[in-house]
Every structure is written in structure tokens, then in C-alpha cells.
Structure 1
Amino acid sequence: MILIVDDAPENIISLKKVLEVNGFEVDTASSGEEALKKILKKSYVLIILDVQMPEMDGFEVAEAISGYSKAKETAIIFLSAAIANVNLITRGYSSGGLDYISKPVDMNILLLKVKTFYRIYEQSRALNEMQTKLLEEIEFRKEAERKKDEFISIASHELKTPMTSIKGYIQLLERSLDKEDLETTRIRLHKVQNQVEKLNLLVADLLDISKIESGKLKFNKKYFNFDKILDHIVEIMQQANPKVKFIKKGGIDTEIFGDEMRIEQVIINFMTNAIKYAPDSDEVHLTAERRGDEIYFSVRDFGIGMAKEHQPQIFDKFYRVEETSERYQGLGIGLYICQEIIERHEGKIGVNSEPDEGSEFYFTIPLHPEMDAKP
């Protein structure tokens, strides 16, 4: 938009008409004071400013505009009926003007200058937008690089821990075998098996991440008994964690359509996290219910919980709650994989949690989704 500032109505009318005929949007002010009020409220690409005005001349208006952060980059063209001299032109430039036209105005020259300033403005705006986008992209590259480095560091540490344990237990096994101490050998073999399973799960998660990123995470959907696989999982988890009591509530009591192995993967992740983040608790509550045309499943622990600000991000890839990252190991990809699995079942996943009061992770999936759902 162009602002014309002139105390002579006839000048405003003629300039406004010519500019509007040529497709420019025009606003007007009949005094310096009125112009300053408008500049505070609106943004202008160009101000055509008369020099000789009563009370506040054009130079004073320009100097005032230069103090407004909103308008200090706005181009100003001075109009003057006085004969142009060096002093006048010098004052015009020093007060913030970029050009000068004498009255009577040659409309062709004015239009040429207005179009030039508009072209410069559009080019400047395009450059600023490009610069902003470039800076955003650079920050996104930097953040992605930081997350990648952090992930590699965490992954290396997580993989190294069970490998170190396995190596240590094997050395102890050799001593037990030398002593023919079968009971100790059996205990240490069990510990090696636990570490191998932990290593297997870590590798499986890393492979799943790679498959998700490449769009190759496969699903084998069919009807299966949800309660049956839940009982099986609880039995295995109970054997591995004899000190924890798993309390089941409700049941589905019908077959559901989905990938049995992937749903089992989500349930095990929820239960493993419940044990991991509630080390001082001896209870984990499991709820399975049929709610209309969908099933609801949740795992409730009574552990450390988490603050509200973390909950929307907890399913993001590589996200880990900073306060717990040092105390509790993990890659920050398990829940991300769970979210992908549930969404591929046309379901929803979420969490309810309070600090120091525990967390409840849940998912819902439809009982009978369309058979032509994503494979």
C-alpha cells in the first residue's frame, strides 16, 4: 500500500487517481500528524510525502518515521514545489528520503519511480523469506545432526552394556564348569540368556526403526484371541519378574483383527516400561475392555510418572524425558514404534500421568476394521 501525504486536497486526488488506475492500493493523509497516526496502525511499502506542509513539514514527518521500528524501512519519496537545491536535497536524504520529485509532478516519472520501489520491495521481501527459510532449514539440519549423534551415542552405550555383561557371565560360567558347580552354572546361564534377550530386543527395535523409515514395516493381519495372547504375555513376564504382581481387570472375550505379533510387541513394551519406571512398586495393573466397536487396553504403574509437558512428545522418535535419561537407560524408540503399530491398526495411543503418581499407557483399536486397511 502507498500512503500519500499532502495538505492540498487537489494534489491528493490527482495522485491517488493515477496510482489506482495503475493497480496500486492507496491511502491518504492531509497532515503530518494524521500520517504518523496511520503509520502506527498500518504498514506501507511507499510514502509519497509533500515537503511544504503547515505545522509539521515533510522533513519532520520523515525524521519521526525513522524512529518507528515498524516503518523505518519504508521508502519515502519527497514532493516539493520549491526549486530543488543542494541544501534541500541533502536535508531530504538525511531525514530518511530515498528520492525527490519536483512539482508540478510528471506522472510518468512518478509511476516509473513507484514501480521501481515496488519491484525493489518485492525482491527484498523474497530475499528475506528465502533467508528465513534457509535459517530454519539450517537449524533443522543442526537439530537432526544433534539427535543423530545423541542417538548413536545412546545406541552404542545400550548395545555395549549387555555385551559386556554377556562377556563377564561367560567368564564366570567357565569357572563354574571347572568346579562342576551345576547350580551356579544354571543361574549364570539364565543371566546370560536375559542379556542376550535384551540385546535381541535392542537390535529388533533398531531394525523396526529402519523399516518404518523406509516404509517396509510389514504387517500380517488376521483374527486372533486377544485375551489368550495377553494371558501368555503375563505368564512370561511373571516368570521374568517374580517380585511384581500383575493385576488384570476385564477382558475382551472375542477375536480381534490385527497383527498378533505386533500387538504383542506393544503390550510387552508397555509392561516392560511399567516395571522399569516403577522400581519401588510391586504392582502393575492391566485393563482390557470392549468399548463399543473397539477394544481398550492399558498398563498402569505406580512409579515416577511424568510432567504434562512431556506427554505430547513421549511417542516422538528418540524422545527421552531429560530428568530420567541418566537414571533409566533406553533408546527412545520403543514408544515411537508402538505408535506406528497402533496407527497402522487404525487405532489411537496415549498416556495419562502425574509426577510421582505413576503412568497409564493405553491404546484403542477397532474390533473389525475394514479388510482393505493398510497391509
Structure 2
Amino acid sequence: MSKSLQAIRGMNDILPEQTPLWRYFEGTVARLLDNYGYKQIRMPIVEFTELFKRSIGEVTDIVEKEMYTFEDRNGDSLTLRPEGTAACVRAVLEHGITGGGQVQKLWYIGPMFRHERPQKGRYRQFHQIGLEVFNLDGPDIDAELIIMTWRLWGELGIRDAVKLELNSLGTSESRGRYREALVEYLSAHHDKLDEDSQRRLKTNPLRVLDTKNADTQAVLVDAPKMADYLDDESRAHFEGLKARLDAVGIPYVLNPKLVRGLDYYSKTVFEWVTDKLGAQGTVCAGGRYDGLVEQMGGKPTTGVGFAMGIERLVLMLETLEQIPEEISRQVDVYLCAFGEEAELAGLALAERVRDQLPNLRLQVNAGAGSFKSQFKKADKSGALYALILGDDEMAQQVVGFKPLRGQGEQQSIAWDALAAHLATCVVQG
């Protein structure tokens, strides 16, 4: 017998009982971004591999270990996108929409791909919502991104479960000076570093700050601090950001070891972290990347953005039981019809009701069936009410209206009064 077909490890199906929560989360974010004046952009899933090597950095873990890269029939090296910023920068450059200093406030949603070890809330195909803002260089836009996420956590009911961590990486020049000092210090303690940190010392030393190894963390206690190497411009920018967060009342923690995993960050970096998913984990992160567009062949253009992981945030909503009651119910009203004449009348009646109540979730029974079987399907659908059309109802041009989830007797409602009755019972109640 042939092996049964299965999804690739770390690439999961999102089943019908799961998608309502995903749609609720995605819709909440989309509405919030609309309200703040952001416009959606959609990029391809596959890009030339060189794009990510130039933007993310060839010695990052993503490029070295995690990308899904292959040759197409033309011999071109292509990669499933591991993150969205590089693809978004490529798109704005290709179409010239940031030229002449044009401000662009963009957002995107979709799957990303990294060959990591799958774990709860983190998969090889994962989904992100990302924002990118171009040609605004002040701390006010950095603050806006953080304020938006703060508002989102409030709307989702998870504000008490997340913590904001902040740092500034300075300009490339100040970061270079800090890098030299850090390498000098770590080299003097080389034998105390874990194997991965020893490798990073030669390739990407700032990522050593990010280590989870306890022995290396002990070495880092007396390491040089990035704040001591910040240039005046970066320091003023960071103070401006903190002042704006203080003005709005958003609490934060300064984390001098926060560096992010990608080469293109400068000045502001931030992460929203939680400990509600087991080990502390990041649910949203980003920062400023003022040199990336120029690095990728464009004119000097400032940029700042963030990305949030949908899987982890959906998992948080489930863990904290912050799921609105209405999204667990997919059907408001279920129409049962008995006999061909009633089925035809039921279809026409259902469409008239939908014309008048476009937001009503009305399901019409399909596949006929006995009174008992149709009511069983109506109950299983989760509907609040059942509508009944049989011979008696047809003769009187009424529909039976029966509550399924609470108190109340069955009533008879005239066909032309049904929409108004449903508006009172379902749309408002």
C-alpha cells in the first residue's frame, strides 16, 4: 500500500473550525491599518535569491541555514520569501513609488518560509502581517507604529499579556565602532563562549548579544554597551521616541541586548514579547532600516517597519480565551424546508431576506431529509434560530420561527415580515 499523503512537516493546514479566528484577527488588523491611513501591497511569494542575500545579509542564520532555495528551469536561483521587508523594498524600487521623497505607508499579509525546527506557534510556513513606511525619518513615525500595535493589543484583549522592549542600534558608523569594541571584548573571553557564539564572533558579532546560552550571557554582563557608542543624532532620535511613548502612556523596557536577527536595522529596534505561550516569545518586532533601500540600489530613502506572526497571536487569543462569541458561531439562522414546493419557496424567501439583511448568516438546508434529520443539522450548525417551511406554512404563507439556543416558543411569521423580525432577533440580539 502506498504511503498516505501528508502535509510537509512544519507546513500546516488551517481547518474550517480554525479559520473564523484567523479571519477575525486579520480583519481587526486590516480595519485598524485602514483607520491609520496605511495602504495594502501584495508581493510574490518567490523572489530571486540574490534579493535576500543583499538585504538580510549572507552571514545571517536565515540566509545560511533557513531559506528554501531552488533553481528554476532557466537556471535562476529562486527563494521562497523568508520575510517581507526585502520584497516590499524591491517592489517600491521597481515601480518607483518612493521616488522624489514620496511618503509611502504600506502593509502586507501572507505566508513566509524558513526551514526552522517546528514548535508550538512557529512553523516552516508561517504567516505575517507587516508594515513598511518610507521617506519619514523622525521618531514620530517610529512611535506611530508602536502606538498602533498597542491599540491592537487593546482591541484584541491581550494588552496585559505583552511587554514592549526597546533599543537603539545607532547609525552604521556608530554601530561599527561598537562592533569593534564588542569583538575586542569577546575575543578576550573566547574560550568561555558557546560554539555558536564563537562562530558568530567572526561573522555577525552583534548576534552574540542575542544568545540564550547561560555561560555566554554571564560573559556579556560586563561587555561594552551599545548606548555608550551612540552618535548624537541616534541618541536624540531615541529620546524623541521614548518621549512620545511616555506621552501616550505606553510602558516599555530598555533592552541593550536587543539587536534583531537581520543586518539591515539601524537606530530604533523593538519587540513585543509574551510569556503566555510557555517560554518567552516574540509576537511582533521591527525597527528602522534607513540604509536598506540604498543598499539595494535605490537612492537614499529612510524606512521603518515591523512584522507580526499570525500563528503566535492566534494562539495567544486561544490561550487567553479572548475569542468573541460571535465568531465561534458560523450560522445565525437555518432554514428547513419539507417537500419540493417548500424547497423552491424557501430558496426565494432566503434570497429576499439576504437582500434586506446582507450581514445575516443564513444557511438553507441542502439534501432534503426528514423533519428530524433537518433539525439535527440545524442544531449542529450552531444557528440561533430555525426557520420551518412545510405544507401548513406554505398554505398560510408564513414561516415557522423556532429558537434553538434559549427560551421561547415557536412562532409563525408572515413572509413579508420575516426580515424585520430577524433584524430584531439576530442582528440586534
TM-score (norm 1): 0.25
Query: Which has more radius of gyration?
Result: 1
TM-score (norm 2): 0.22
Q: Which has the higher contact order (CA 8 A, sep 6+)?
A: 2
